[in-house]
Amino acid sequence: MRDPSDTRDIGPRVGSPLWFHMAVFTLAGAFVFALSMSRLTGLNGIADHPLFWVLAAMVVLSQIWPIVTPGRSRLEAPKASNTFCLAVLIVWGLPIAVLLRATSLLGVLVAQRKAVHRAAFNAASATLSTAAAWAVLYGLDFRYSPANPWHFGDEGIWAVPKILLAGVAYFAVNFLIITVAIGLHSREGALTAIRRTIGYQAFVNLVLVATAPLAALAIATGSAQFVLLFAFPLAAIYANAAMSVQREHQAHHDELTGLSNRKMLIRKLDDMLAQATVSSTKVGFLLLDLDRGLKEVNDTLGHAVGDRLLRLVAHRLTHSIRPGDMVARLGGDEFAVLLPAVKEASVAREVAARLRAAVAEPIRLEGMSFVIEVSIGIAMYPDDATAGELLMQRADVAMYLAKQRRSGVERYVADLDRNSPARLALFGDLRRALDRGELELHYQPKVYLTDRRVAGMEALVRWQHPERGVIAPDDFIPQVQQSYLMREVTAFVIDGALTQAALWRQSGMTTQVSVNVSGRDLLDSGLADLVAEGLARHRLPPETLLIEIDERVLTSEPAHAVATAEALAEAGVALSLDDFGTGYSSLVRLKRLPVCEVKVDSSFVGRILESPDDEVVVKSIVDLASALGIRSVAEGVESADIAAALLAMGCVAAQGWHFCRPLNAVSATAWLAEHGERDRQARPINGHRPGPRRPAVMPPSGWRL
């Protein structure tokens, strides 16, 4: 396999359409160049004049710095050298123009360490386009040479249409030769590439061609100073273009790696799907997520070195894809690869295998060696999805499956996707909801049963849909757990909960806030870093936050979940085991987990007065928690009788509508202000003073009432 760090351009495959295209036009250009040089006269006289060297310098400089505009690559960027070379052709004829154009272009490309075959091909294209312009002028009886240079008085105003026609020929030949090569190289197709770029290229080259007569007039004066005057408007054009490109680049590229960001990816994806629809081809979408390696680097060497690791991974990805493919960073340690013009899904699998192998090569940082593992999900257009957002979502489902199976690469399989069409539509709305700020947090108090002191506030997410009204978490969180949006929703909830906790702390209410994380979050090695960064950003101590973990996740994914739980505990964040009693955790596992609290599931709590079996279950959980020194919290308490029964069992704390329904931030603050004052004035109850405050638990992605 090719070294992923090897960036050499080894050229097109021999015998391929691109190889034939480049070979034919390179040979044709070489022939025209040799023929032109055989007719070269008068060079010595021209070269003795400073004007020639000023022109040569401006051609070289404008070749080095093309006029790159927003949304265009350097390959598509116009070059002011075309204006000067066309002007030289007008004044001094073909041999001088070909010599100046081809040698300057060849020299610049070689100096930039471009592959020899590419430099030769581009020089040949420039030669052939210059010859095409000369042929038009020659046919219109417009014939000049160094011995007989052109002056405006020789042709008068009729010189302008002749020059414009020559410029059209110059542009047409160069555009077709180069664009066809780009289309073949990128697998986009020659006709598709021509249709995509013809409008823009025709416009900018018309401007350059229209400027050629003015440059020819300056050359005809024989004054180098007149030619240098062109440097001022060109400098203004370059400066404006550079500022526009910089703003566009910042808006569409990841600052750390330089890769395209999500916005650029979606734009390119939509364009490629439109092209694939017209050409009846397939598009592959690969979603990549680092399984391990980044966290070890961040924990061992710090985040600055972790950033270097991400840049190295980005470099390996970009040098392991096919020409024309696109790599983007979606955030954190998640990347995407877009594959245009894919014939079969097997090609996407081959690319995915190559990417995994490239990333898995050991990386040495600060004298230490790290191995990075990655999970990749594949979705194909139009086989798996017929829209861009849906294609991304289904690649994410496949990637999550690859993580669960530890298989590395998985293709989307409809039978394993639990999302219905209605839920997928809701998924698209949720993507927009995150951007528009439609999600908000409500808070439900948790109280100690002995004296009703505040034990904490649980953050519960609510979606204020503009058309459907308030959407309960149960209607969208299960769907999000199968998508890449779970990370964004969790990040929103954690940041929102910490923001509110910081506001409460500034008001003298040091209430702990609890946040519930999903199974997908626990498979994300960056969860602990996300929490630590949030605490640091809001300047909060770790005990401010309590993370709730679903017991069923620990039983289905024990290795990954426990590793993430331990990382959170090491950061000083308290942990709670949510929905306890539904996941069949063993006593051994419970003893090993770094949790300080268990929450008894509401399905048991709500029936303790009617069902002796449920009463026994709850009493057993409370006794077990007490024996292990872990706080027990009952969920779903809706009556005073249930609260009294729980207190008699020895349950420490509870939450539910009997105490308080979920409140928005303003109402929750008022509730805390009232009950917090009572807490400070608490007196001993039944001869016992309330024990020390324990960390409070609360589910941020709250998908229950």
* Angle subtended at Cα 44 by Cα 40 and Cα 49, rounded to the nearest 5 degrees: 125
pLDDT of residue 306: 81
Confirm if 319 and 4 have CB atoms less than 8 A apart.
yes
Q: What are phi and psi of 228, to 5 degrees?
A: -65, -20
Beta-carbon contacts of residue 61 (< 8 Å; ≥ 6 apart): none
Element (H, E) at 566: helix 558-570
**Exposed / middle / buried, residue 237 (Cβ in 10 Å: 0-12, 13-18, 19+):** middle
Confidence band of 10 (pLDDT split at 50, 70, 90): low
Asked if residue 580 has pLDDT above 50, the reply is yes
Q: Where is pLDDT greater, at 654 or 208?
A: 654
pLDDT of residue 100: 87
Q: Which CATH number fits domain 433-680: 3.40.190.10, 2.120.10.30, 3.20.20.450, 3.30.930.10?
A: 3.20.20.450
Rounded to two decimals, the pTM is 0.49
Q: Where is pLDDT greater, at 55 or 5?
A: 55
Q: Residue 303 corresponds to which tokens in the numbers above?
A: 């985040």
pLDDT tens per residue across span 85-143: 888 888 888 998 888 888 888 888 777 777 888 888 988 998 999 999 999 998 988 88
Q: Where is pLDDT greater, at 161 or 446?
A: 446
Q: 3-state class of 441 per DSSP?
A: strand
Q: Where is pLDDT greater, at 368 or 610?
A: 610
Domain positions in the chain are 19-252, 262-412, 433-680
Beta-carbon contacts of residue 237 (< 8 Å; ≥ 6 apart): 67
Cβ atoms < 10 Å from Cβ of 6: 8
Percent of the chain with pLDDT over 90: 26
User: At which residue do the structure tokens 């951007």 appear?
Assistant: 435
Is the Cα torsion angle 58, 64, 68, 72 positive or negative in sign? positive
Asked if residue 234 has pLDDT above 80, the reply is no
Asked if residue 670 has pLDDT above 80, the reply is yes
For the sheet with 326-331, list strands across it.
326-331, 334-342, 282-292, 373-381, 409-411
Q: Where is pLDDT greater, at 129 or 250?
A: 129
Parallel, antiparallel or unpaired: strands 373-381 and 282-292: antiparallel
Facing residues of 92 across strands?
A: none
Q: Where is pLDDT greater, at 433 or 298?
A: 433
Asked if residue 32 has pLDDT above 80, the reply is yes
Q: What is the mean pLDDT of residues 411-428?
A: 67
Tabulate helix, strand, coil % of the chain (nearest 5).
Answer: 55, 15, 30
Beta-carbon contacts of residue 587 (< 8 Å; ≥ 6 apart): 624
pLDDT of residue 224: 78
Q: Where is pLDDT greater, at 105 or 39?
A: 39
Asked if residue 205 has pLDDT above 90, the reply is no
pLDDT of residue 299: 64
Q: Residue 304 corresponds to which tokens in the numbers above?
A: 């600055």
pLDDT of residue 587: 57
Q: What is the mean pLDDT of residues 647-659?
A: 93
Instruction: Among 91-95, 250-254, 359-363, 598-602, name the one with the lowest average pLDDT.
Output: 250-254
Confirm if 317 and 334 have CB atoms less than 8 A apart.
no
Q: What are phi and psi of 623, to 5 degrees?
A: -65, -40
Instruction: Among 161-175, 485-499, 646-660, 665-679, name the one with the lowest average pLDDT.
Output: 665-679
Round to whole Å and give the CA distance between 6 and 63: 26
Round to whole Å and give the CA distance between 118 and 121: 5
Amino acid identity of 390?
L
Fold of domain 262-412: Alpha-Beta Plaits (3.30.70)
Parallel, antiparallel or unpaired: strands 574-580 and 597-600: parallel
Asked if residue 703 has pLDDT above 50, the reply is no
Widest distance between CA atoms in the chain: 117
Q: 3-state class of 696 per DSSP?
A: coil
What b/e string do you get for 95-110 counting C-beta neighbours within 10 Å, with b at 16 or more? bbbbbbbbbbbbebbe
Q: What is the mean pLDDT of residues 583-609?
A: 76
Confidence band of 154 (pLDDT split at 50, 70, 90): low
pLDDT of residue 456: 92
User: At which residue do the structure tokens 């270097």 appear?
Assistant: 308
Confirm if 94 and 130 have CB atoms less than 8 A apart.
yes
Confidence band of 540 (pLDDT split at 50, 70, 90): very high
Asked if residue 681 has pLDDT above 50, the reply is no
Q: Residue 643 corresponds to which tokens in the numbers above?
A: 């609260």
Average pLDDT, the chain: 81
- DSSP secondary structure letter of residue 49: S
Asked if residue 585 has pLDDT above 90, the reply is no
Confirm if 338 and 283 have CB atoms less than 8 A apart.
yes
Percent of the chain with pLDDT over 70: 83
pLDDT of residue 152: 67
Asked if residue 640 has pLDDT above 50, the reply is yes
